[in-house]
Structure 1
Amino acid sequence: MPLAVYILGVAIFAQGTSELMLAGLLPEMAADLGVSVPDAGLLISGFAVGMLVGAPVLAVLTLRWPPRTALLAFMAVFAGSHVAGALTSSYGVLLATRVVGAFVYAGFWAVAAVTAIRLVPDGARGRAMSVVAGGLTVATLLGLPAGTLVGQNLGWRAAFWAVAALSALAAAGVLATVPATRPQSASGQELSLRAQARALARPSVWLACATTAVSTAAVLVTFAYLAALLVDTTGLAPGWVAGVLALYGLGSLIGITLGGRVADLRPFALLFAGLTGVTLVSAGIGLGATAAWAAVPLAFLLGGFGFAVNPALNTRVFALAAGAPALAASVNVAAFNVGITVGPWLGGLALDAGYGYPSTGWIGAALGLLALATVAVARMTRGPVVQPAPVEPAVPAS
């Protein structure tokens, strides 16, 4: 695995820490900015909106840019948005910086995925994507608690400064390790937006993106309310919640590592096994949320099964839209963020209706079944896999 792939994972870790850490800093931020906690929560929603829009827009705007140039530009804007956020006392300005940071973070995700895929042989694509996406699981395991700890002890602005510094270091790593290549393949077709749009128009591509969105929602509908469930329903003391969330993060890291080693050889088997696991674990949470001996290990398994399918969700889209890697990656990133948005929203509807936290597990199980149905349809209707054209050695940028 080239060093550049690991550096891209580090960059995702830096940016993913920013995505996650606000969940532990909302009370402090609300008090400092003079707004309510729900208003401070909109900083998280704004980040999700920026992610949803940023990937496809920036994929089109930077289609003719050398990949390294695009990656560095995105990271410079991301670091700058956090410097601006750390310096401002205006809630409106801070919200704007969150949207801007998420916008370029989504663009970085899309370009980083394409870059990692191109740096490795076809049979190592799943592993490469597990390393890149693994940056986010490490952010869940380490970045979230570390960012929360820094923010609670040194102020939330210190957490923003830390993310900006870590992003700058990651950018230096990108500059040093990612090859300076031209934005073209051997055939040169990837520079044509019209050609990419044609490759992306296949129904199988959109079915794969639907699997991404629904499977992500199946995990997030439960995870979004897991802390509250553990305290309110399971009866754990609040001090134990961080440990259980870390256990979820550990499961995620193990799952995505193992999934990356299987995704290239058996993508459908991995998707069926992983989503079946998500469905059964979610139902288990619905049934056993009141018992700590059940809820705690189920949290670990939810992270494991939920993230094990991640490499297959990414590499399938590339295989199905081989002529449109940039747009395929951007649409798949958007699909992940649709799931991140829809899952918690569905859980919130159930909670507002008075069904209680265990209902989120049942919703996750239903979404898991729906995701399995999309995989079954894709498996039955798949045609010959479209392989990408052989790529010539990288052409140095002038």
Structure 2
Amino acid sequence: MPFAIYLLGLAVFAQGTSEFMLSGLVPGIAQDLHVSIPAAGALTSAFAVGMVVGAPLMAVLSLRWPRRTALLVFLAVFMVVHIVGAVTTDFGVLLATRAIGALANAGFLAVGMATATSMVEPHAKGRVISVLLSGVTLACVAGVPAGALMGQLWGWRSAFWAVALICAPVLIAVVRSVPGPAPAVPEATARRHAEVPSARRELRALRRPRLLVILLLGALVNGATFCTFTYLLPLTTQVSGFQESWTPVLLALFGLGSFLGVTVAGRMSDNRPMRLLVPGGGALLAGWLLFAVAADSPVAALLLLFVQGTLSFAVGSTLITRAVYAASGAPTLAGSFATAAFNVGAALGPAAGGAAIDAGLGFRSPLWVSALLVALAFAVAGLAHAVRQARGGPGETSPVI
């Protein structure tokens, strides 16, 4: 595995820390900026919406750039908006920085995934994707708990400063370690006449029913993950009975599970996806239901945080891999399709969880919403399978949870 791929994973670690760290900072942000907890939770949704819009948009706009240049631009913007977020006293400005930072994150991840998968054999995409996603899971293990601890000791702004500081050495490392490949269409004349049609040709991959089903499944599964994870702090303190000082430990436990899940997916998603997706999806649904029932038990909460972290990321990262395979006709934009779909879930999940809390259903209610979203994934997969069978389509290796 080329060293540059691990470097890209390090950059994803910084960005993943930013995306997930609000789960330990929402109450502090709400109190400091005088908004409600569900309103502060909208910061997660704003980031996710930026990822949804930014993934395909930034990937298309950066087609004309050398990939190293695109990675540097996106990472620099990401660093700057976190500095702005760390100093602002206006919730609207903070919300805007989250959206802009997400655009930059989406662009970096889309270009980074295209860069990484181009460095290895075509049948090794799952292993490469697992390395990149391990940056996100390590953010859950180390970055997010550290951000929560910093928020407790020095306020939520310190976590934003930390993310900005992490980006600075990564910028230098990208310059030195990531090769500067040719633009997507190397010759200037060919680029002038063929690049826009090429982008359109890749976007046509979205017409494939198999790809659309996988993307929808990914959105639902990731929506379930973010629905609960965004409100993890009030859930564990108000329902499970943990002191707030336990938050870094709980986040790290979820992160350890997510790292294990991505590791398992990296070993199975290339050649044996169904052996993970079918039983893993069933266990994920059962786990959310059990968590909803047993959330008032600290022991059950500790166990299920680890289990659900493992299952959520094992199933989710496998779906990302299968989406990249299904979008084989879109080598540059395949990662952006998966990124956008999963962040549709990351936007809708917290919104649905926040709506349940606002409706007076309590901080346990996001767990029920998570279970509902995974159940919907089962329904979509079952319907897609029935339609394919009715049409007499050949057997496929596409995932059906």
**Under TM normalisation by the shorter chain, which class is it?**
0.7 to 0.9
Matched, 1:322 2:321: no
Per-residue CA deviation, residues 244-269 of structure 1 (Å, 9 max, x unaligned), is 22211111111111111100011222
User: 1:220/1:100 Cα in 2 relative to 1: closer, same or farther (>3 Å)?
Assistant: closer
Counterpart residue number, 2:286: 280
Answering whether residue 319 of structure 2 is matched by residue 313 of structure 1, we say: yes
Q: Work out which of the residue numbers 216, 222, 233 in structure 2 matches 1:216.
A: 222
Match in the other structure for 2:72:
72
Q: Match of 2:375, as an amino acid?
A: L
> What amino acid is aligned across from residue 172 of structure 2 in structure 1?
A
| Structure 1 residue 96, shift from structure 2 partner | 2.9
Report the Cα distance in structure 2 between the residues aligned to 1:90 and 1:359, rounded to whole angstroms: 29
Aligned match of 1:200 in 182, 194, 206? 206
Determine if the alignment matches structure 1 residue 299 to structure 2 residue 305: yes
Q: Give the equivalent residue in structure 1 for 2:83.
A: 83
* 1:360 aligned counterpart, secondary structure: helix
Deviation at 1:304, TM superposition (A): 0.5
Maintained 8 Å contact 1:222/1:360: yes
Matched ranges for 1:88-107 at <5 A: 88-107=88-107
Flag the 1:372–1:53 CA change in 2: closer, same or farther, 3 A: same
Aligned to 2:252: 246
Partner of 1:2: 2
1:256 is aligned to: 262
Alignment-derived partner of residue 173 in structure 1: 173
Superposed displacement of residue 53, structure 1: 1.5
Shift of 1:225: 3.1
Q: Which residue of 2 aligns with 1:269?
A: 275
Q: Is the 8 A contact 1:86 1:160 kept in 2?
A: yes
The one of 338, 342, 345 equivalent to 1:339 is 345
Q: What is the TM-score with the length of structure 2 in the denominator?
A: 0.86
Could you say which residue in structure 1 is the equivalent of 2:375?
369
Q: Mean alpha-carbon deviation: is it higher for 202-211 or for 154-163? A: 154-163
Instruction: Check the 8 A contact 1:285/1:358 in 2, yes or no.
Output: no
Q: Is 2:27 the partner of 1:21?
A: no
Q: Any idea what SS the aligned residue of 2:333 has?
A: helix
Does the aligned pair in 1 maintain the 2:66–2:182 contact within 8 Å? yes
Match of 2:243 in 1: 237
Aligned counterparts of 1:212 and 1:348: Cα–Cα separation in 2:
21
Residues 269 and 375 of structure 1: is their aligned pair in 2 closer, same or farther, counting only changes over 3 Å? farther
Cα offset, 1:290, TM superposition: 2.7
- Given candidates 271, 281, 290, the residue that maps to 2:296 is 290
User: Could you tell me whether the CA contact under 8 Å between 1:127 and 1:261 is conserved in 2?
Assistant: yes
In structure 2, how many angstroms separate the alpha carbons of the residues matched to 1:372 and 1:70? 38
C-alpha separation in 2, matches of 1:29 and 1:236: 20
Range that drifts further, 170-179 or 273-282: 170-179
Q: Measure, in 1, the Cα distance between the counterparts of 2:25 and 2:169.
A: 24
CA spacing shift, 1:243–1:153, aligned 2, 3 Å: closer
Give the corresponding residue for 2:356.
Answer: 350
Partner of 1:393: none
- Deviations along 1:300-346, one digit per CA (max 9) or x if unpaired, are 10000000123321121121111213333222211111111222222
Aligned length: 385
Give the match for residue 232 of structure 2. 226
Per the TM alignment, residue 63 of structure 1 is displaced from its structure 2 partner at its CA by 1.8
Tell which deviates more after alignment, 84-93 or 236-245. 84-93
C-alpha change, 1:72 and 1:378, in structure 2 (3 Å) is farther
Could you tell me which amino acid in structure 2 is paired with residue 254 of structure 1?
Answer: L
One-letter amino acid of the structure 2 residue matched with residue 251 of structure 1: G
Provide Cα deviations, 1:96-123, integer angstroms capped at 9, x if missing partner: 3332211111111111121221112233
Cα displacement (A) at 1:127: 1.5
Give the secondary-structure state (helix, strand or coil) at the position aligned to 1:234.
coil
| Distance of 2:79 and 2:263 partners within structure 1 | 28
Deviation larger for 124-133 or 175-184: 175-184
Q: Structure 2 CA distance, aligned partners of 1:358 and 1:36?
A: 21
Contact 1:54 1:107 in 2 (8 A): yes
Aligned partner letter, 2:118: R
**Displacement of 1:50:** 1.9
Q: Give the residue type in structure 1 aligned to 2:224.
A: A
Aligned partners of 2:375 and 2:68: how far apart in 1?
40
Within 1, Cα distance between the matches of 2:227 and 2:40?
A: 21
Aligned in 2, Cα 1:354/1:31: closer, same or farther, shift over 3 Å?
closer
Question: 1:373: how far off?
Answer: 3.7
Structure 1, gaps ≥5 residues long:
387-398
Runs of 4+ deviating beyond 6 Å = 185-191
> What's the CA shift string for 1:225-247, capped at 9, x where partnerless?
33333333333333334322221
Whole-Å separation in 2 of the counterparts to 1:363 and 1:297:
20
Q: Which amino acid aligns with 2:73?
A: A
Q: Is the 8 A contact 1:347 1:363 kept in 2?
A: yes
Instruction: Sort the Cα spacing of 1:160 and 1:291 in 2 relative to 1 into closer, same or farther, 3 A.
Output: closer
Assess if the C-alpha contact under 8 Å between 2:81 and 2:101 holds in 1.
yes
User: 1:164-218, CA deviations, whole angstroms, 9 ceiling, x for partnerless residues?
Assistant: 2211212222222222112348999887112112233211111111011011122
**Measured at CA, do residues 110 and 268 of structure 1 come closer, stay the same or move farther in structure 2, by a change above 3 Å?**
same
CA distance in 1, matches of 2:273, 2:166: 34
Q: Normalization by structure 1: what TM-score?
A: 0.86
Identify the residue that residue 36 of structure 1 maps to in structure 2: 35
In structure 2, relative to structure 1, the CA distance for the partners of 1:352 and 1:272 (3 Å cut) is: same
Q: Using the alignment, how far apart are the partners of 1:366 and 1:169 within structure 2? A: 42
Distance 1:152 1:171, change over 3 A: same
Q: Map Cα deviations across residues 273-309 of structure 1 (whole Å, 9 max, x no partner).
A: 2211211101111222232332221111000000012
- When structure 1 is superposed on structure 2, of 62-71 and 84-93 the one drifting more is 84-93
2:200 maps to amino acid: R
Structure 2 distance, partners of 1:145, 1:185, is: 42
